Amino acid sequence: MNLKQQIAQKLMIDLRYFGDSPTARTPMTRLPGAVADWIARCGLGGVILFSENLESPEQIRTLTSALQWAAARSSLGAPLLISVDQEGGRVCRTPKAHTTAFAGNMALGAASSVHPELANEVAVAMGRELLALGINVNHAPCIDVNNNPDNPVINVRAYGDHPQLVARLGLAQVQGFASAGILSTLKHFPGHGDTHSDSHTGLPRVEYDRSHLDGMELAPYRAILQQIQPDMVMTAHIQYPALDDTTLIGRDGLAHLVPATLSRKIITGLLRQQLGYQGVVITDALDMAGISGWLSLTQAVIHSFAAGVDIALMPVRIRCEADLVKLDELIDAVAEALAAGKLDPGEWQDSLTRIADLKRRLAPDLLPSPEVLGCDAHRSLERKLATAAVTQLCPNTLPRPATAHRHWLLMLPDLEKANALAAALKELKPELEIRCASLLQPEAELHQAMAQADLVISGFISPRQSAAELGGMEDVSALDEQALIQAHQPERLVPLLKQAKASGRSVIHLSLRAPYEFSLVSPWCHWGLASFAYHLDRPGRGASYDSLARVLLGLAPAPGLMPLKEGE
């Protein structure tokens, strides 16, 4: 490898949009010739794909094949790492119409008491489907311990708030991905579970002392690394004063406490030397505000490499052909840093060796048959997980069985979700009279709808959707759409459910994400259930709604075990 190829091997770029200008919002579903030529010329290390890139199995395989062909044209000839964030549940990038949309980690946490093998089996199925599309790296599993109910970005992306549970299921999924032939990524080191803010939009800070971090955030990493060496570990853009209190000068001229991604004490000292990890370390997306909000991306890349990171993820935003020049400029800047002694030559070669070793573990060119995508066995596994995850939040004290109520009101966050549950209920019991309402409706309309029901079923998603769930960062303004979701706090349900119960109606509450809001509404509920999932896996339907319907109608138990201390 020449020096430019060495640097390019340490970059993983995103190509979500590509058009005629830096503000292009045209999804890149075919590989542009200019990008293919750049990959062939420089020997790029990897790419990350988003839902915008992924339309259908045929289109995806064509795109991933074109990417690998461009890499093969390079004099280096090294295969590309083609990656995606496919965690299940909230973070699912592949098209649900063609692939299996498994519930996420917290559903696995709830289901593990009934079916402890599910975490591994889901990872195997997920890995086989990704590999069939030509995707060879999954940035999962998320082994953050969600011990902060107000966490806006992790939440049900975590298995729970028990470090031992997180470690056990995380290990099972890493092993499942490996057996499917796909590389996996533990994230977000040293832990994103106890933050009040989202590193996509700011720079979070965790103030706990080292003793607490050892027993909570770091515990899953230590447990897993004592047994295996995962393919990759992804860093967190989070400040940890107890782990590193040094500072960097930002472009604003101010001193900023170094976040983990840029911290040599955390990446080399803690992860590599103390915990013994010898594999590839990759940053979280560098265009997230946790980094880009105060430091130039070029400096961020250089500081991350100096810290001990191997691969810089999304170091330059590529939206048009002119942006490819920025990649050349970045490569030149890193070369200058090497020449100036800012990066250790021996560590640089060790990093390249780790990346080369990782690529030697890639599956052969022969991909699994597309018939594996959304196959009957995987759909059955999807239903098995959704059924096992349903968890009872309080004993059923309904004055009479739910099926004895004639007029049902489903009052869910939006009509799409209410209609999905209604469809599942009507399929099982066609004679039910069900009215759907949305929490987006005016309060007067909701009171009127309750007056015509004898069973009121409320549902809530807490907290609001994060940037990661929406598909990754493009620009912060895109989050403005979430103002409506954020505005509907669970407190709004209290007077509605209080009135419903006081007027003699039966009340059931469904926590569709993490059930942190249930303690607020529980005094006015006869029953509470949690599904830990709310996504639709096909038009108008979803496995989690089908499972909730069976439990509501008394056709199945709620076997899940609460994976959160807060909800016990």
Examine residue 13 and state whether it is found in any structural domain, yes or no. no
Instruction: For 150-204, write each residue's pLDDT tens digit.
Output: 877 888 999 999 999 999 999 999 999 999 999 999 999 999 988 766 656 678 8
Q: How confident is residue 391, by pLDDT bands cut at 50, 70 and 90?
A: very high
Asked whether residue 290 carries a pLDDT value surpassing 90, the answer given is no
Pairing of β 86-88 and β 11-14: unpaired
What does the block give as tokens for 248? 């960097």
Contact 534, 420 (CB under 8 A): no
Show the tokens assigned to 492.
Answer: 């709004």
**What is the arithmetic mean of pLDDT over 410-428?**
95
Is position 388 within any domain?
Answer: yes
Task: Give the tens place of pLDDT for each residue, 428-443.
Answer: 999 999 999 998 888 8
Same domain, 177 and 299: yes
Nearest to 385 by CA among 159, 171, 112: 112
Q: Please write the tens of the pLDDT for every residue from 63-98.
A: 999 999 999 999 999 999 999 999 999 899 999 999
Given 144, 284, 287, 323, the catalytic residue: 284
Residues 403, 486, single domain; the answer is yes
- Residue 479's pLDDT is 44
pLDDT at 317 over 70: yes
189, 310: one domain: yes
Residue 482 has pLDDT above 60, yes or no: no
The pLDDT confidence band at residue 469, using thresholds 50, 70 and 90, is low
CATH number assigned to the domain comprising residue 172: 3.20.20.300
When pLDDT is cut at 50, 70 and 90, the band that residue 464 belongs to is low
CA distance 562 to 568: 6
Which amino acid would we find at residue 62? T
Structure tokens at 223: 């447990």
Asked if residue 271 belongs to a domain, the reply is yes
Question: Is the pLDDT assigned to residue 101 strictly greater than 90?
Answer: yes
Judge whether 7 lies within some domain: no
Q: Is the dihedral of CA 516, 522, 525, 526 positive or negative?
A: positive
Per-position b or e across 6-37, b if 16+ CB within 10 A of its CB: bbbbbbbbbbbbbeeeeebeebbeebbeebbe
Contacts of 33 (CB under 8 A, 6+ apart): none
Quick one: which H or E segment has residue 81?
A: strand 81-84
Give residue 463's pLDDT band: very low, low, confident or very high (50, 70, 90). low
> What is residue 205's DSSP assignment?
B
Closest CA to 8 of 233, 328, 297: 328
Rounded to an integer, what distance in angstroms lies between the CA atom of residue 386 and that of residue 547?
A: 6
Query: Is the confidence at residue 562, as pLDDT, over 90?
Result: yes
b/e per residue 363-375 (b: at least 16 CB within 10 A): eeeebbebebbbb
Mean pLDDT of 488-506: 90
As a whole number of angstroms, the distance between CA 399 and CA 44 comes to 65
What's the distance, CA 568 to chain centroid? 25
Using CA atoms, how far apart are residues 310 and 405, in angstroms rounded to an integer?
60
Domain range for 329: 19-41+48-368
Question: What pLDDT is recorded for position 566?
Answer: 57
Q: Decide which of 315, 349, 368 is a domain's last residue.
A: 368
End-to-end CA distance of the chain: 56
Query: Sign of the CA dihedral 461, 464, 468, 471?
Result: positive
- Bridging pattern class, strands 247-249 and 255-257: antiparallel
Residues 189 and 62 in one domain: yes
- Please tell me whether residues 194 and 313 are part of one structural domain: yes
| Cis status of the peptide bond prior to 188, with omega within 30 of 0 | yes
Higher pLDDT pick, 108 / 23: 108
Same domain for 302 and 394?
Answer: no
Residue 327 pLDDT: 96
Last residue of one domain, picked from the residues 335, 368, 401 = 368
Question: Whose structure tokens read 């096909």?
Answer: 538
Residue 203's pLDDT is 83
Residue 411's CATH number: 3.40.50.1700
2: Cα separation from own chain's centroid: 36
Confidence of residue 480 (pLDDT cuts 50, 70, 90): very low
Per-residue pLDDT at 149: 83
**For residues 154 and 522, what is the distance between their CA atoms, to the nearest angstrom?**
24
Written as one string, the DSSP assignment of 540-565 is TB-HHHHHHHHHHTTSS--B-----G
Pairing of strands 81-84, 280-282: unpaired
311: which DSSP letter?
B
Q: By C-alpha distance, which of 97, 119, 149 is closest to 540? A: 97
Peptide bond into 463 cis (omega under 30): yes
Is 4 within the bounds of a domain?
no
Question: pTM for the whole thing?
Answer: 0.93
Residue 488: pLDDT over 80: no
Domain identity same for 84 and 222: yes
- Indicate if 405 and 467 belong to the same structural domain: yes
Q: Count other C-beta atoms under 10 Å from residue 416's C-beta.
A: 15
Structure tokens at 35: 């990008």
Residue 306 maps to a domain:
yes
- How far apart (Å, rounded) are the C-alpha atoms in residues 6 and 351? 10
Which residue has better confidence, 290 or 16?
16
d(CA 490, CA 524): 13
- Residue finishing a domain among 321, 346, 368: 368
Mean pLDDT computed over 138-153? 90
The answer to whether residue 302 sits within a structural domain is: yes
Q: What is the dihedral of CA 37, 138, 287, 318, to 10 degrees?
A: 20
Distance CA 311, CA 299 (A): 14
- Per the domain annotation, does 11 fall within a domain? no
Mean of all residue pLDDT scores within the chain: 92
Q: Respond yes or no: is residue 284 known to be catalytic.
A: yes
How many domains is the chain built from?
A: 2
| DSSP codes of every residue in 339-354 | HTTSS-HHHHHHHHHH
Same structural domain, 412 and 275 = no
Q: Which stretch of DSSP H or E encloses residue 52?
A: none
* Calpha distance 134→368 (Å, rounded): 9
Shared domain for 329 and 387, answered yes or no, is no
Q: Are both 403 and 513 inside the same structural domain?
A: yes
Q: How far apart are CA 456 and CA 176, in angstroms?
A: 41
Separation between Cα atoms, residue 57 and residue 64, nearest integer Å: 11
Same domain, 490 and 549: yes
Helix (H, G, I), strand (E, B) or coil at 61: helix
